[in-house]
Amino acid sequence: MTTATIDSRSPAVPATRRSQLICCVLCMVLIANLQYGWTLFVNPISQAHGWSIASIQVAFSIFIALETWLTPIHGWIVDSLGGRRGAKLVVAVGGILVALGWIINAYAESLAMLYLGAVVGGTGGGAVYATCVGQAVKWFPDRRGLAVGLTAAGYGAGAALTVVPIRAVIDAAGYQAAFFWFGLVQGGLVFVLAWFLRAPDPDEMVGVAAPRVMQTTRSYTPRQALGTGVFWLLYIMFIMVSASGLMATAQIAPIAKDFNIGNVAILFGASALSVALVVDSICNGGARPLFGWISDQIGREYTMAIAFGLGGVAYWLLGTLGHAPWAFVLFAALIFLTWGEIFSLFPSTCTDTFGTKFATVNLSLLYTAKGASAFLVPIANLIKSASGGWHLVFVLTAIMNFAVVALALFVLKPLRQRFLSNG
């Protein structure tokens, strides 16, 4: 099975799709802190208001849920408005909501208001995320894993640029100031970049080279995709891997505190937590193009098996040996390295299977699995409280990753082969 690729005879097309990719990556960088910077705010919010960590993390769950569950609507709007208008309008509105969400957080004096900020920020973040990933799968059918990986890397690694500045602002002026100014600047820049986005015109995309991985020549509507076993298997696998990763990304600061290493200086005066957050963001972002590129070469399922198998080992190592500062940094980095690629592998697999015409909506429907998995994050705190430590949490996340390895190799691969052959 093959799909269309870029016509190398038209010099304008490579330049255009590179500029589109750059804009998408920058937009993703600018919204990364909504998720990956959140852990820096949890303890300061708790100290300022006396709210429990679990109640504050409900805001994180709301953010993740709306960032993901509303993406099919965002995708439908993008496709309905057309290639020239859809992407820019949806991302522009998303930028406004991103800024407004963090500004609300800055003034939140109740949990209800904090949750409102999560609703607004999650809606805006999802609009930006879904549109940018949709752009990547449409502009780069020949290198879909790599392109989606680079786009998602902006979201995974973007927080590395601002972890230290955000923490410095929190320490110097309070978490409210950090929410306000970073929200305003990041949302404003997304709004500006939005006006450069567009989808490819039909005559810009012609077939010249077949990809190495299985791809359909058809385009399945969202209703058709939802009626397949392949979609729901991908959905279940996405939930299992995403839940394990979200438990770590949302809890890194509390875990470091409980391990009594969060404020231990280990590198040029920087604490173990600060070093871990920077390295984690880099690994999380780098994993996406790395494993995306690998999947373009050897196939999606084999790449899933490699990544998630290593991920299972990483969770076990952090829970068992992560109480030393440098071990904490190393094993947390390995978790992020073997988790972030879900945001390149699953969208690429989805579009390979169901085609490009409805790609934004279809991959957005699959992305809602991240929202479902978010509600397992507070459960990690409950397991930790009941068991007296994080060890059981890490054992469970490791088992979930190993189970997905088995599903990828022995269920997903043959199921997709039959589906594509029949299509």
Domain ranges of the chain: 12-202+222-422
Q: What band does 290 get if pLDDT is binned at 50, 70 and 90?
A: very high
Distance CA 260, CA 389 (A): 13
Distance CA 157, CA 304 (A): 20
- Does the pLDDT of residue 5 top 60, yes or no? no
| Per-residue DSSP letter, 205 | B
Distance CA 360, CA 382 (A): 36
- Does the pLDDT of residue 208 top 50, yes or no? no
- At residue 23, what is the residue type? C
- Does the pLDDT of residue 10 top 80, yes or no? no
- Alpha carbon 10 to its chain centroid, in Å, reads 33
Answer yes or no: are the C-beta atoms of 371 and 236 closer than 8 Å. Answer: no
Give the bridge partners for 265, in sequence order: 271
245: its two tokens: 């990763």
- Does the pLDDT of residue 6 top 70, yes or no? no
- Residue 266 sits at φ, ψ, to 5 deg, of -130, -15
Give the bridge partners for 16, in sequence order: none
| pLDDT, mean over the chain | 88
60: its two tokens: 């994180």
Across 18-25, average pLDDT: 93
Distance CA 396, CA 382 (A): 13
- pLDDT at res. 384: 85
Across 217-243, average pLDDT: 94
216 by DSSP, 3-state: which? coil
- Could you confirm whether domain 12-202+222-422 is CATH 1.20.1250.20? yes
Answer yes or no: are the C-beta atoms of 376 and 246 closer than 8 Å. Answer: yes
- 65-79, 86-100, 159-173, 381-395 — which one is most confidently predicted on average? 86-100
Answer yes or no: are the C-beta atoms of 403 and 75 closer than 8 Å. Answer: no
Q: What band does 207 get if pLDDT is binned at 50, 70 and 90?
A: low
Q: What band does 9 get if pLDDT is binned at 50, 70 and 90?
A: very low
pTM over 0.85: no
